[in-house]
Amino acid sequence: MPNIPQHIVLFPDGNRRWAKEKGIVSFEGHLQGEKKFDDFLHWCKNAGVKIITVFGFSTENWKRSPEEVNYLMNLFEKYLGEGIEHFNKEGVKVVIIGQKERLPESLQEVIKNVESSTKDNEKFHLNLAVSYGGRWDILHAVKKILEEKIPAENITEELFEHYLSTAGLVAPDLILRVGGEMRLSNFVLWQGAYSELYFSPKLWPDFSKEDFEATLAEFDRRTRRFGK
């Protein structure tokens, strides 16, 4: 029986490059990327994956043009707002991780709604990272620990993980980066310490079910030692 990763971290890269290759506007690439993500969710659920953490928008992405940032914020708002019924039907718990206070107020309201509406779902867990950075996550955890005045001798790795955005979840088994880049780009830096890494040259809108199955097959072939 194949060894299926329970928690996958996804970098869905290449939407803008895909659009450029097609000679269309970059916004259309993001739209195609959203459609591909719906496919990816189904592939994961059917394969037995339990948790996905997807890189939606990084702390560094705020440096992009105002037009693109606004488009992406509206895309997140539309995807989450219109997807609540579907998430509940499929038993998906949705959690947004990142600097929520930096997001547009209308998106913050949608986030509150989708998180509240899906909080009791147990079949699948979706973390959507918006305005998220791995360094920010670690610093934010440190600040919360300091605010609570926890003695240094009581701070363990297990306690520290309780203050991260992914508190309560198993560490990622597999980090999948699509789009040809081979780096972590300031994502899940603590959580991915012992994750298996897999890089696909495919641009995200072109990533297929066959590519996903090849990823799982490669994961199954690997032996995880965790430093032992």
CA-wise closest residue to 9 among 161, 198, 214 = 198
pLDDT of residue 223: 84
Is residue 224 very low, low, confident or very high in pLDDT (cuts 50, 70, 90)? confident
Residue 135, pLDDT above cutoff 80: yes
Summary mean pLDDT of the chain: 95
10 and 40 Cβ atoms separated by less than 8 Å = yes
206 DSSP 8-state letter: G
Residue 1, pLDDT above cutoff 80: no
76 and 130 Cβ atoms separated by less than 8 Å = yes
- Render the burial of 53-92: b for 16+ CB within 10 Å, e for the rest: bbbbbbbebeebeeeeeebbbebbbebbeebbeebbebeb
pLDDT of residue 27: 84
How far apart CA 61 and CA 67 sit, in angstroms, is: 12
Two tokens, residue 12: 């869905």
pLDDT > 90: what percent of the chain? Answer: 94
pLDDT > 70: what percent of the chain? Answer: 99
123 and 91 Cβ atoms separated by less than 8 Å = yes
Average pLDDT on 100-109 reads 97
Write down the CATH superfamily of domain 7-221: Decaprenyl diphosphate synthase-like (3.40.1180.10)
Q: pTM of the predicted model, to two decimals?
A: 0.94
Q: Where are the domains of the chain?
A: 7-221
pLDDT of residue 103: 97
Residue 138, pLDDT above cutoff 80: yes
Query: pLDDT tens for residues 22-80?
Result: 999 888 999 999 999 999 999 999 999 999 999 999 999 999 999 999 999 999 999 99
Is residue 143 very low, low, confident or very high in pLDDT (cuts 50, 70, 90)? very high
Two tokens, residue 146: 């300091």
pLDDT of residue 227: 73
In the sheet with 196-200, reading across from the earlier edge strand, the strands are 92-97, 124-132, 51-58, 7-12, 174-178, 196-200
Average pLDDT on 14-27 reads 91
Query: pLDDT tens for residues 197-209?
Result: 999 999 999 999 9
Active site residues: 13, 61
